[in-house]
Amino acid sequence: MAISSEKKLPSQENLLLEYMRRLEKHKEDRKVVHLHLSLLRPMNRREQHIRTATGNFENIVKSMDGQVFTVKNSDIFVMYKKTIHPHVETAVQQIRYLFDDDPLIVEEEHSDKKFASWYDAEQDFDSVLQTVQGMAHAEQKRQIEVRGRMDARAALKARQEQGEPLTPRVLARIETALSKADLSNLVRRQFICRVDSNMVPEQIFSELFISIKDLRETMIPDVNLVANRWLFQHLTTTLDQRMLSMLTKTDGISISGDISFNVNVATLLNPEFQSFDDNIAAGRRGAMIIELQKEDIFCDLASYLFARDFVQEKGYRVCLDSLTVQTIDIIDRERLGADIAKLIWHTDLVDGGDELHKKIRKIVKRGGPDRLILCRCDNREAIDFGHSVGIDLFQGRYVENLIVEDGRRRELLKLKRRIERSEADAYLDEE
Amino acid sequence: MADPGYTTGGYNEAETSEESLLLSCLKRIEANPAGAYAVHMYLSKLKASNRQPHFIGIAARTFDSLIESFEATVFSIHNSDLILVCRNVPVDDADAAVDKMRALFGEDPLLATEDEAFEDSFSNWYDLSQPEDYSTFVGIANDLAVEAQRRKQQGAQDKVNEDREKGEPLGALNLAAINQKLQGTRVADLIREQTCLQIGPNGPRSILFREHFVSMVELKKRIAPEVNLFASPWLFQYLTETLDKRMLAVLANRDIGGMASPVSLNLNVNTILSRDFQNFHKAIGKSASRVVVEMQVLDIFADMNTYCYARDSLQERGYRVLVDGLSPLALQFFDPGLLQSDFVKIAWGPEFEGDTDSTRLAEMREVVASTGKDSVILARIDTEEAVKWGLAMGISRFQGFFIDDIMKKLAGVQAEKARAKSKSRPKPQAQPAAPAPPVEQPAPAQPAAQPAPVPTQPQPAPVPVQPAQQPVPAPAQPQPKPAPKV
């Protein structure tokens, strides 16, 4: 028997998967209901609530007419014989009453979020299986990912691979060194491209950044600069100033075309930015995009809003940087008044399900195709995903490869034409 | 900053104050008024958070090109107002510059009014070649100068407010030593408490929890009296990671299960996944349901993935989760309900008070409703008006100075009752004479308990977004909630 009242048993998802496999052989005359308790407010899905909810199916389980599974995120799956469908409906209705003050239930009619999804085991077998597999998979992955960062073993491994974590003492040393060093050879450039369905890239603008990896290798090879988020973030304020002074000296680095660069909000309100701005040709401002991190924005919203108005008024554009699969539907570029936003590519975007895809599509549609960039694209999957939700603009290693390839193709084409021409010339000569 | 020609002068403050410079400028105009006019821009009417000195500085610089090309001067008045004095400057050019400056404050409610009405609420023009306008304007300038003088005398008192930010800024150089010191310093005696109270239409109901936090001002005195710990939000955040560890160690040894009300404490997301928290959980796990864990929105957004994991793992073990560090402003930009915490804490600020914009209030009410009105806590409550305002928004949970006062009074009443009872008893000497501070008084971390905020203070706003890691200089106002990052 797969039923278990112990919600925390780690193998619930696996038991459910196994049951699905067995069900495959006799799926006719069966139905499945998926109760999305995970969408309830946290205070409504405490253990006692889940227990009460599952209790409603007790009779069905006892009479061997169905099975109940409670997965990790509190969702409940009931697989049952078609003959008892009315009983199940009643049970689900009773559970619904339990939560009738929860927004999920209150707003169900006007929302695409539903409390229950009903399936026919035979017809919908694949989609049920997919849902269950997705859940088991996602949970597993998330745990590995987060735990992987935190536990001692992982810390040890990171230390071996990436060096000692950055400490305040080392940070002070780096800052002193940075104030004198010439960083222009550490500046990298990555293009933001429109990529069409034939994978042909068209360059829109480029991001200039100081390569942290190379910085580390030149200055302090044994130290992991990003080990502590806050120390690193502080280091970026120093890098901001170096970047601005390099951008001011036009001979330092070539800054042809539209460019973007990352700074802290506080930097925009500093004298360094003022003098950068004073030294830049007025016409250049329209070709510059200022990238800001979301956590920096929310660290001091009032300063952000002021800085945004300040730079936009001067003609710069503002880019909301590093949205993720978890924040894309929480942090709204439009409401923040940024011109562009960047979404970090991750396979979770694909696994996120229809609802997430719909949301992203809506965001792209509302803002227009030039407002959302999928960045850190490492492979073709990223581009394909982007296209599937309407994203046109991409950035990342894979895009850089596409540019190289495209360049090569053009070279070949040129060569071919030249050969053709010289052949033709030769032909004419012979004539 | 206004007129480069004047700023190089001597250092006699009274003579070189912007107001007195304005007056002498007006005197010169009196002798030759032709073509002169002035624009008075009321930046003092902006929201406090938009009146930070570096904002005003940038706003004043908007007139740089005008000053370069024409005979024009900008005066930065003590109350944040800007006054532009021009001679023979095309009105369109001056107007364009004013517009440009105005655009910097696009989000401010002052500018939300319709353009027609706006002219009066934000700026006023005076044709100084007309005697009538001239004398009106001189009157205004005189008032401003008198006010500036008065304020200077008050300056000594304002200094106290700046105490918190006194000293050299926290930087990488001094961080190591301070962090080291923090690791070895006693903090248990610096832990303060503040009550979060449920209030119904008929008055106080029950205590939701008592927030335990380390008084940052006391801590600063102990570990770094000469350093401004709030100079870098990021380095401050780094320090709080160390502080978390100390706090957890102290609380693990306190009998949370035996306390009269649940406890809340502010932690970094990373701390929750650390061994220190595991140990804390081992010690108090049975009382997990009596512990509320607060996390800062800045920390949450920095790594949502980890936050989601931390939140779920806390909730599964019975803890309740609170999202802290929200300002009313933040609510305009995202829906905190999406963070799926048990509570969200919004810092009440003076900008609420005057805000009568019905759309914004409706929006606010909607946010409260959609987040769940039982989940929303209004913090930094320092007046009864704030409570009334909250109740009208559908909020019933409050925290702050004003609530502390209520608690004190309640405790006083109870002590009184107890005394009355004991007096009626035959053995009066059983009662110790000391009235004793009723409950542990949640002494706020503010230095030298100063009275109510000086309302006329021109200075920065109590930037509500991040109480703990204010990147901006001294909020002119004693914060109702002391740097609450534990």
Q: Search chain B and give the residue with CA nearest A321.
A: B302
Nearest to A186 by CA among A250, A237, A253: A253
The pLDDT assigned to B157 comes to 54
For an interface test with A, the pick among B1, B80, B234, B342 (most A C-beta atoms closer than 10 Å) comes out as B234
In tens digits, chain B (486 residues) has pLDDT values of 444 333 333 334 455 789 999 999 999 999 999 999 999 999 998 888 888 888 999 999 999 999 999 999 999 999 999 999 999 999 999 999 998 998 898 888 777 655 555 456 788 999 999 999 999 999 999 999 999 888 887 765 555 455 556 788 899 889 999 999 999 999 999 999 999 999 988 888 899 999 999 999 999 999 999 899 988 889 999 999 999 999 999 999 999 999 999 999 999 999 998 889 999 999 998 999 999 999 999 999 998 988 998 999 899 889 999 999 998 888 888 889 889 999 999 998 776 766 666 777 788 888 888 888 889 999 999 888 889 888 988 999 999 999 999 898 888 888 888 888 776 655 444 444 444 333 333 333 333 333 333 333 333 333 333 333 333 333 344 344 444 443
Question: Cβ separation of A42 and B341 shorter than 8 Å?
Answer: yes
The pLDDT assigned to A142 comes to 63
Query: Cα distance from A412 to chain B (closest Cα, Å)?
Result: 45
The pLDDT assigned to B269 comes to 95
Please state which CATH number belongs to domain A12-148: 3.30.70
3-state DSSP call for residue A252? coil
Question: Cβ separation of B232 and A43 shorter than 8 Å?
Answer: no
Query: Cα distance from B403 to chain A (closest Cα, Å)?
Result: 25
Structural domain boundaries of chain B?
Answer: 4-162, 170-419
Question: Cβ separation of A309 and B338 shorter than 8 Å?
Answer: no
Question: Cβ separation of B471 and A266 shorter than 8 Å?
Answer: yes
A110 interfaces chain B, CB cutoff of 8 Å: no
CB pairs under 8 A between A and B: 157
Q: Which residues of chain A does CATH 3.30.70 include? A: 12-148
A269 interfaces chain B, CB cutoff of 8 Å: yes
For an interface test with A, the pick among B99, B230, B238 (most A C-beta atoms closer than 10 Å) comes out as B238
Nearest to B469 among A150, A299, A303 (CB): A299
Q: Chain A window 381-420: which residues touch B at a Cβ cutoff of 8 Å?
A: none
Question: Cβ separation of A172 and B273 shorter than 8 Å?
Answer: no
- Using 50, 70 and 90 to split pLDDT, how confident is the model at A147? low
Is it the case that residue A399 has pLDDT exceeding 50?
yes
User: From the CB of residue A265, how many other CB atoms can be counted at a distance below 10 Å?
Assistant: 22
Q: Give me the count of residues in chain A.
A: 431
Query: Cα distance from A224 to chain B (closest Cα, Å)?
Result: 16
- DSSP element (H, E) containing B356: none
- DSSP element (H, E) containing A228: none
Q: Which tokens sit at B390?
A: 């909250």
List, in sequence order, the alpha helices (H) in A368-396.
380-388
Query: Cα distance from B15 to chain A (closest Cα, Å)?
Result: 27
A145 interfaces chain B, CB cutoff of 8 Å: yes
Q: Tell which phi-psi region holds residue A231, choosing left (phi > 0), alpha (psi between -120 and 50) or beta.
A: alpha
Nearest to A13 by CA among A140, A118, A114: A140
Specify whether the CB–CB gap between A35 and A131 falls below 8 A: no
A329 interfaces chain B, CB cutoff of 8 Å: yes
Q: Which tokens sit at A60?
A: 């069905």
CA A105 from centre of chain: 29
pLDDT in tens, A304-339: 999 999 999 999 999 999 999 999 989 999 999 999
Q: Chain A window 22-51: which residues touch B at a Cβ cutoff of 8 Å?
A: 41-43, 46
Specify whether the CB–CB gap between A340 and A317 falls below 8 A: yes
A274 interfaces chain B, CB cutoff of 8 Å: yes
Mean pLDDT confidence for A287-298: 94
Question: Cβ separation of B465 and A274 shorter than 8 Å?
Answer: no
| CB-based burial label for B192 (10 Å; 0-12, 13-18, 19+) | buried
Question: Cβ separation of A303 and B338 shorter than 8 Å?
Answer: no
Please state which CATH number belongs to domain B170-419: 3.20.20.450
For an interface test with A, the pick among B43, B293, B304, B469 (most A C-beta atoms closer than 10 Å) comes out as B304
The pLDDT assigned to B15 comes to 57
Q: Which residues of chain A does CATH 3.20.20.450 include? A: 167-411
Cα distances (angstroms) measured from residue B345 to each of B177, B216, B395, B396: 33, 20, 11, 12
- Annotation: CATH topology of B4-162: Alpha-Beta Plaits (3.30.70)
Cα distances (angstroms) measured from residue B191 to each of B335, B414, B485: 32, 25, 11
Specify whether the CB–CB gap between B265 and B281 falls below 8 A: no
> Which of the two residues, A255 and B3, has the higher pLDDT score?
A255
Question: Cβ separation of B172 and A303 shorter than 8 Å?
Answer: no
Rounded CA Rg of chain B: 26
* Contact residues, chain B, for A320 at CB < 8 Å: none
Question: Cβ separation of B330 and A326 shorter than 8 Å?
Answer: no
Nearest to B172 among A143, A171, A331 (CB): A171
Please state which CATH number belongs to domain A167-411: 3.20.20.450
User: From the CB of residue B185, how many other CB atoms can be counted at a distance below 10 Å?
Assistant: 13
Q: Could you please report the per-residue DSSP string of A283-326?
A: HHHTTEEEEEEHHHHHH-HHHHHHHHHHHHHHT-EEEEEEE-TT
A171 interfaces chain B, CB cutoff of 8 Å: yes
3-state DSSP call for residue B214? strand
Is it the case that residue A276 has pLDDT exceeding 80?
yes
The number of helix segments (H) and strand segments (E) in chain A equals 20, 14
Nearest to B318 by CA among B284, B348, B344: B284
Query: Cα distance from A333 to chain B (closest Cα, Å)?
Result: 9
Question: Cβ separation of B173 and A336 shorter than 8 Å?
Answer: no
Q: Which residue has the tokens 């009619």?
A: A109
Q: What percent of chain A has pLDDT over 90?
A: 45
Query: Cα distance from B104 to chain A (closest Cα, Å)?
Result: 5
Amino acid at A355: E
Specify whether the CB–CB gap between B51 and B431 falls below 8 A: no
Query: Cα distance from B178 to chain A (closest Cα, Å)?
Result: 10
